Structure 1
Amino acid sequence: MRLTSTALQDGGNIPRAFTCDGDDRSPPLAWAEAPGETQSFALIVDDLDAPGGVFAHWACYDIPKNYTALEEDSGRPATSDILRHGQNDFRELGYNGPCPPHGHGLHRYRFRLFALDCPKLPLGPRPSCKQVEEATHGRVLAEARLMGRYGR
């Protein structure tokens, strides 16, 4: 399975528009080559270099199996009645983009898409990103990754 974005290259810099210094929109994402038995997808975005450890920026789950992309700004819960979002480490539902401390250098932001063997994850109404990720354990058919960098 492959995960790509028209807004950033794997290992490249994340444009300002997708960060707290810009419009804080989620970037457009597309994927291909998911296993035929996929029943849904889940997406986790986190900062691997946050001072306190891995910091969750977005969890989107119960993405229908027929989806092959998320449009730009899909990270806002109000933009779709279909997509479900976890509570990130900013304590908000949906996407909050890169916002590393000033002068902390470049941070690595990991986008992970999971193809799952179930149509819905067994989660309550406001799960944390960590709970979303834990709910995928034992259900992952394939995983694709995309890495972006951002510093302030």
Structure 2
Amino acid sequence: MIILILESPAFQHGGTIPKKFGYKNGNLSPPLIISEVPEKTKSLVLIMDDPDAMGAVGKVWVHWILWNIPPNTQEVPENSIPKNSIEGKTDFDEIGYGGPAPPDKEHLYVFKLYALDIQLDLEKNSTKSDVENSIKNHILTETKLEGKYAP
């Protein structure tokens, strides 16, 4: 079985995401640690979204899309992106990280990391659906990191 691990020194899986990473409280992207990347990986993709937004706004809210992350990346420092990686457009209609911003109650945020057998050829303003369509049939493995955030 192929394993891929995504962790954060800022919060435990299933734990509370610190306030400074929230959209209205600093909007810093959290530090991430990546390990056990499969040998044949050509690039990594990270998608952060909020499935709990479905109840409040009628859709899964996209907070961060990052692709062409080099496969040798082991750490993504706070408020940065790996060299040569590309950020896409969020549901805030912005390029780059958009932190948690639940409109009603505590929400669960999901950071999904995909190991791909290709690099993506997408424009900078691409969306989650553009990325998801491009990675079909190219995912070697995937993992996720979840955190909670309350308004």
Q: Given the two structures, how large is their TM-score scaled by the length of structure 1?
A: 0.90
Structure 2 unaligned spans of 5+: none
The residue correspondences of 1:54-133 to structure 2 (distance < 5 A) are 54-74=60-80, 82-101=84-103, 104-118=104-118, 120-133=119-132
Please, what is the CA RMSD of the aligned residues? 1.3
Match for residue 134 of structure 2?
135
Q: Given the two structures, how large is their TM-score scaled by the length of structure 2?
A: 0.91
Structure 1 unaligned spans of 5+: none
Note if contact 1:43-1:60 (Cα within 8 Å) is conserved in structure 2.
yes
Q: Does 1:145 find its partner at 2:147?
A: no
Deviations 1:43-99 (A, max 9, x none): 000001112220000000001111112111025xxxx66120010000100101001
Q: Percent of aligned pairs with the same residue?
A: 40
**Deviation >6 Å, runs of 4+:** none
Match for residue 9 of structure 1?
12
User: Does the residue aligned with 1:132 lie in a helix, a strand or coil?
Assistant: helix
Note if contact 1:44-1:133 (Cα within 8 Å) is conserved in structure 2.
no
Note if contact 1:9-1:148 (Cα within 8 Å) is conserved in structure 2.
yes
1:137 CA drift (Å): 1.3
Opposite residue 109 of structure 1, the aligned amino acid is: Y
